Amino acid sequence: YEALDRLEATRPGMVAVARAQPTDPEDKVNNVRMRSTRLVSPNGSFALYLEEAMRRDLAEISVLDPKAPTRIAARILLNELDLGVFNGGGRMEVEIVVTRGDTQRLRRTYRGETKFESGYGAAVAVPAGQAEYPRLVRALLRQVYADPQFVAAIRP
């Protein structure tokens, strides 16, 4: 995952990841509909899914420390999968806030988008949408990790 490798090469400081928001499973962004089917997060909410993805990524490059003074917080603003007749798409917008102690170092909204082959029938389209969601989260995190302002905000 190139963006994560590039982030690691910048020698970021140790970071903590705050609880992603919104955690309410009934919040609109945690209710992704795919035609008549609801996509369910294995983590209980898509905010927690995003949070865990960030934790895994940052642990992989050995910069995750729950006690670090630099803290990354995420709030999902938009979270959609569209199962078109032939082509589908995913869209995700997340506000990322990086703080160090009491100082805000970054507040920025990132957008991830994906396109995928869908189908007219739900038997094809729904599994395609389910398989696409992890790629949508990756596309969003790729934008975050590649942003020079994000990199500067987490540097020691």
Phi–psi pair at 58, nearest 5 degrees: -70, -35
Structure tokens at 130: 């389910």
Burial of 73 (C-beta count, 10 Å sphere; 0-12/13-18/19+):
middle
* Rounded-to-integer distance, Cα 156 and Cα 144, Å: 18
pLDDT at 84 over 80: no
* Cα 126 to Cα 33: distance, rounded to the nearest angstrom: 10
Between residues 129 and 105, which one has the greater pLDDT?
A: 105
Residue 64 CA to residue 66 CA, distance in Å, equals 7
What pTM did the predictor assign? 0.90
Q: Rounded distance, CA 34 to CA 49, Å?
A: 18
Give residue 43's pLDDT band: very low, low, confident or very high (50, 70, 90).
confident
The architecture in CATH of the region 2-154 reads 2-Layer Sandwich (3.30)
How many angstroms separate the Cα of 143 from the Cα of each of 4, 27, 94, 96?
10, 24, 11, 11
Domain residue limits, the chain: 2-154
> Distance from CA of residue 41 to its chain's centroid?
13
Give tens-digit pLDDT for 111-145: 999 988 786 666 666 777 777 889 999 999 999 99
